[in-house]
A and B are shown apart, each in its own frame.
Chain A
Amino acid sequence: AQSVTQLGSHVSVSEGALVLLRCNYSSSVPPYLFWYVQYPNQGLQLLLKYTTGATLVKGINGFEAEFKKSETSFHLTKPSAHMSDAAEYFCAVTPGSLGGGGNKLTFGTGTQLKVEL
Protein backbone atom coordinates (compact mmCIF):
# COMPACT_ATOMS: atom_id res chain seq x y z
CA ALA A 1 0.00 0.00 0.00
CA GLN A 2 1.10 3.55 -0.68
CA SER A 3 0.25 6.93 0.76
CA VAL A 4 1.44 10.50 0.31
CA THR A 5 1.47 13.42 2.73
CA GLN A 6 1.89 16.97 1.50
CA LEU A 7 2.65 19.42 4.28
CA GLY A 8 1.00 22.78 3.76
CA SER A 9 -2.12 23.07 1.66
CA HIS A 10 -1.18 26.67 0.80
CA VAL A 11 2.30 28.10 0.28
CA SER A 12 3.02 31.73 -0.55
CA VAL A 13 6.37 33.02 -1.81
CA SER A 14 7.67 36.26 -3.27
CA GLU A 15 8.67 36.38 -6.91
CA GLY A 16 12.35 35.43 -7.14
CA ALA A 17 12.32 33.52 -3.85
CA LEU A 18 13.00 29.83 -3.34
CA VAL A 19 10.07 27.48 -3.77
CA LEU A 20 9.94 24.42 -1.48
CA LEU A 21 6.92 22.12 -1.52
CA ARG A 22 7.10 19.15 0.82
CA CYS A 23 6.09 15.58 0.11
CA ASN A 24 6.56 12.48 2.25
CA TYR A 25 5.49 9.05 1.14
CA SER A 26 4.86 5.60 2.50
CA SER A 27 5.30 2.52 0.35
CA SER A 28 5.69 -1.18 1.02
CA VAL A 29 7.90 -1.57 -2.06
CA PRO A 30 10.44 0.75 -3.69
CA PRO A 31 8.25 3.44 -5.20
CA TYR A 32 8.00 5.54 -8.28
CA LEU A 33 7.38 9.17 -7.32
CA PHE A 34 5.84 12.04 -9.23
CA TRP A 35 4.96 15.70 -9.08
CA TYR A 36 2.01 16.83 -11.16
CA VAL A 37 0.96 20.46 -11.63
CA GLN A 38 -2.47 21.88 -12.35
CA TYR A 39 -2.60 25.41 -13.73
CA PRO A 40 -5.91 27.27 -13.55
CA ASN A 41 -8.49 25.86 -15.96
CA GLN A 42 -6.11 23.20 -17.23
CA GLY A 43 -5.68 19.46 -16.73
CA LEU A 44 -3.01 17.93 -14.52
CA GLN A 45 0.36 17.62 -16.22
CA LEU A 46 3.49 15.77 -15.24
CA LEU A 47 6.20 18.04 -13.84
CA LEU A 48 8.82 15.40 -13.07
CA LYS A 49 9.21 11.80 -11.97
CA TYR A 50 11.63 9.50 -10.18
CA THR A 51 11.72 5.85 -11.17
CA THR A 52 15.27 4.55 -10.81
CA GLY A 53 18.81 5.89 -11.04
CA ALA A 54 19.79 9.41 -10.14
CA THR A 55 17.93 10.60 -7.06
CA LEU A 56 17.91 14.26 -8.12
CA VAL A 57 15.48 14.66 -10.97
CA LYS A 58 14.85 17.72 -13.06
CA GLY A 59 11.55 18.67 -14.58
CA ILE A 60 9.97 21.36 -16.68
CA ASN A 61 10.10 25.07 -15.88
CA GLY A 62 13.19 24.82 -13.67
CA PHE A 63 11.70 22.54 -11.00
CA GLU A 64 13.60 19.67 -9.45
CA ALA A 65 13.03 17.11 -6.72
CA GLU A 66 15.27 14.80 -4.74
CA PHE A 67 14.33 11.28 -3.70
CA LYS A 68 15.59 10.65 -0.17
CA LYS A 69 14.89 7.09 0.85
CA SER A 70 16.13 7.54 4.41
CA GLU A 71 13.69 10.41 4.95
CA THR A 72 10.91 8.94 2.74
CA SER A 73 10.71 12.33 1.09
CA PHE A 74 10.43 13.77 -2.40
CA HIS A 75 10.37 17.54 -1.91
CA LEU A 76 9.93 19.85 -4.90
CA THR A 77 12.12 22.91 -5.28
CA LYS A 78 12.76 25.80 -7.63
CA PRO A 79 15.50 28.36 -6.94
CA SER A 80 13.56 31.41 -8.10
CA ALA A 81 9.78 31.64 -8.26
CA HIS A 82 8.00 33.24 -11.16
CA MET A 83 4.45 34.55 -11.28
CA SER A 84 3.62 31.88 -13.84
CA ASP A 85 4.41 29.16 -11.26
CA ALA A 86 1.18 29.90 -9.40
CA ALA A 87 -0.74 26.63 -9.55
CA GLU A 88 -1.71 23.58 -7.52
CA TYR A 89 0.96 20.92 -7.13
CA PHE A 90 0.29 17.27 -6.39
CA CYS A 91 2.77 14.67 -5.23
CA ALA A 92 1.96 11.08 -6.20
CA VAL A 93 3.32 7.58 -5.71
CA THR A 94 2.92 4.23 -7.40
CA PRO A 95 4.60 0.87 -6.79
CA GLY A 96 7.91 0.63 -8.57
CA SER A 97 8.86 -2.26 -10.82
CA LEU A 98 9.27 -4.67 -7.90
CA GLY A 99 5.63 -4.01 -7.02
CA GLY A 100 4.40 -4.39 -10.56
CA GLY A 101 4.72 -0.75 -11.57
CA GLY A 102 1.66 0.75 -13.10
CA ASN A 103 -0.26 3.95 -13.38
CA LYS A 104 -2.57 3.50 -10.42
CA LEU A 105 -1.29 6.64 -8.76
CA THR A 106 -1.96 7.59 -5.15
CA PHE A 107 -2.04 11.37 -4.89
CA GLY A 108 -1.51 13.73 -2.00
CA THR A 109 -4.07 16.41 -1.18
CA GLY A 110 -2.19 19.09 -3.09
CA THR A 111 -0.40 22.35 -2.31
CA GLN A 112 -1.64 25.62 -3.76
CA LEU A 113 1.35 27.83 -4.59
CA LYS A 114 0.82 31.58 -4.61
CA VAL A 115 3.54 33.87 -5.98
CA GLU A 116 3.45 37.50 -4.88
CA LEU A 117 5.20 40.54 -6.31
Chain B
Amino acid sequence: GAGVSQTPSNKVTEKGKYVELRCDPISGHTALYWYRQSLGQGPEFLIYFQGTGAADDSGLPNDRFFAVRPEGSVSTLKIQRTERGDSAVYLCASSTTNTGELFFGEGSRLTVL
Protein backbone atom coordinates (compact mmCIF):
# COMPACT_ATOMS: atom_id res chain seq x y z
CA GLY B 1 0.00 0.00 0.00
CA ALA B 2 0.90 3.66 -0.04
CA GLY B 3 0.92 4.21 3.72
CA VAL B 4 3.60 4.01 6.40
CA SER B 5 4.61 0.40 6.95
CA GLN B 6 6.04 -0.90 10.22
CA THR B 7 7.51 -4.32 10.95
CA PRO B 8 7.16 -6.41 12.97
CA SER B 9 3.63 -5.66 14.11
CA ASN B 10 4.32 -7.59 17.30
CA LYS B 11 7.58 -8.47 18.99
CA VAL B 12 8.01 -10.43 22.21
CA THR B 13 11.49 -10.58 23.66
CA GLU B 14 13.27 -11.33 26.89
CA LYS B 15 14.83 -8.78 29.20
CA GLY B 16 18.36 -7.98 28.11
CA LYS B 17 17.90 -8.84 24.44
CA TYR B 18 18.47 -6.56 21.43
CA VAL B 19 15.53 -5.47 19.26
CA GLU B 20 15.19 -3.74 15.90
CA LEU B 21 11.98 -2.14 14.67
CA ARG B 22 11.64 -1.07 11.06
CA CYS B 23 9.71 1.76 9.43
CA ASP B 24 9.10 2.30 5.73
CA PRO B 25 7.65 5.80 5.23
CA ILE B 26 5.42 7.08 2.47
CA SER B 27 7.44 7.46 -0.72
CA GLY B 28 8.78 10.98 -1.09
CA HIS B 29 8.32 11.96 2.56
CA THR B 30 11.64 13.39 3.71
CA ALA B 31 10.66 13.77 7.37
CA LEU B 32 10.33 10.68 9.58
CA TYR B 33 9.36 10.48 13.24
CA TRP B 34 9.39 7.84 15.95
CA TYR B 35 6.96 8.02 18.86
CA ARG B 36 6.34 5.64 21.75
CA GLN B 37 2.91 4.93 23.23
CA SER B 38 2.76 3.25 26.60
CA LEU B 39 -0.46 1.72 27.92
CA GLY B 40 -3.00 4.39 28.80
CA GLN B 41 -0.84 7.22 27.51
CA GLY B 42 -0.68 9.32 24.39
CA PRO B 43 2.22 9.00 21.96
CA GLU B 44 5.50 10.51 23.15
CA PHE B 45 8.10 11.91 20.76
CA LEU B 46 11.38 10.01 20.49
CA ILE B 47 13.34 11.18 17.44
CA TYR B 48 12.94 13.03 14.14
CA PHE B 49 14.85 12.59 10.89
CA GLN B 50 15.04 15.08 8.05
CA GLY B 51 16.61 13.10 5.25
CA THR B 52 19.38 10.90 6.59
CA GLY B 53 20.25 12.91 9.67
CA ALA B 54 18.63 12.95 13.07
CA ALA B 55 17.38 16.54 13.41
CA ASP B 56 16.11 16.08 16.97
CA ASP B 57 16.75 13.06 19.21
CA SER B 58 15.79 14.77 22.45
CA GLY B 59 13.02 12.27 23.18
CA LEU B 60 15.20 9.16 23.28
CA PRO B 61 14.98 8.00 26.91
CA ASN B 62 18.61 6.83 27.27
CA ASP B 63 21.61 5.56 25.33
CA ARG B 64 20.10 2.09 24.91
CA PHE B 65 17.90 3.59 22.21
CA PHE B 66 19.29 4.47 18.80
CA ALA B 67 17.78 5.06 15.37
CA VAL B 68 19.19 5.26 11.87
CA ARG B 69 17.98 6.22 8.42
CA PRO B 70 21.01 5.61 6.22
CA GLU B 71 19.49 6.26 2.81
CA GLY B 72 16.86 8.79 3.77
CA SER B 73 13.97 6.38 3.41
CA VAL B 74 13.63 3.32 5.66
CA SER B 75 14.45 3.82 9.33
CA THR B 76 15.35 1.34 12.05
CA LEU B 77 14.85 1.92 15.76
CA LYS B 78 17.33 -0.13 17.78
CA ILE B 79 16.96 -0.96 21.46
CA GLN B 80 19.82 -2.59 23.33
CA ARG B 81 19.59 -4.53 26.61
CA THR B 82 15.80 -4.29 26.65
CA GLU B 83 14.02 -3.72 29.95
CA ARG B 84 10.44 -4.51 30.94
CA GLY B 85 9.74 -0.76 30.99
CA ASP B 86 10.47 -0.59 27.26
CA SER B 87 7.23 -2.48 26.59
CA ALA B 88 5.05 -0.17 24.48
CA VAL B 89 3.75 0.44 20.99
CA TYR B 90 6.40 2.13 18.87
CA LEU B 91 4.86 4.39 16.23
CA CYS B 92 6.48 5.69 13.09
CA ALA B 93 5.17 8.64 11.10
CA SER B 94 6.24 10.55 8.03
CA SER B 95 5.41 13.99 6.69
CA THR B 96 6.02 16.51 3.93
CA THR B 97 5.03 19.60 5.92
CA ASN B 98 6.10 21.41 9.06
CA THR B 99 2.58 22.09 10.34
CA GLY B 100 1.80 18.98 12.34
CA GLU B 101 0.20 16.72 9.76
CA LEU B 102 1.77 13.32 10.31
CA PHE B 103 0.93 10.05 8.61
CA PHE B 104 1.27 7.23 11.10
CA GLY B 105 1.88 3.54 10.68
CA GLU B 106 -0.03 0.96 12.70
CA GLY B 107 2.84 0.58 15.12
CA SER B 108 5.08 -2.18 16.44
CA ARG B 109 3.96 -3.61 19.77
CA LEU B 110 7.00 -4.55 21.85
CA THR B 111 6.63 -6.78 24.90
CA VAL B 112 9.65 -7.40 27.08
CA LEU B 113 9.24 -10.37 29.42
Q: Which residues of B contact A90 (CB under 8 A)?
A: 42-43
Smallest Cβ distance from B100 to chain A, in angstroms?
A: 5
Question: Is the C-beta of B3 less than 8 angstroms from some C-beta in chain A?
Answer: yes
Cβ-defined partner of A46 (8 Å) among B31, B33, B102, B105: B102
Q: Does B48 contact A (CB under 8 A)?
A: yes
Q: How far is the CA of A18 from the CA of B6 in the complex (A)?
A: 36
**Distance between A4 CB and nearest chain B CB, rounded to angstroms:** 8
Q: Of B41, B99, B104, which contacts A44 at CB under 8 A?
A: B104
Which chain A positions have C-beta within 8 A of B44? 107
Inter-subunit contact B91/A104 (CB<8 Å): no
Query: Are the C-beta atoms of A107 and B43 separated by less than 8 Å?
Result: yes
- Complex Cα–Cα for A110 and B106 (A): 17
Say whether B104 contacts A103, CB under 8 Å. no
Q: Which residues of A contact B3 (CB under 8 A)?
A: 43
13 contacts between A and B (CB under 8 A): A9-B40, A32-B99, A34-B100, A43-B105, A44-B93, A44-B102, A49-B99, A94-B100, A101-B98, A103-B31, A103-B102, A107-B44, A110-B41
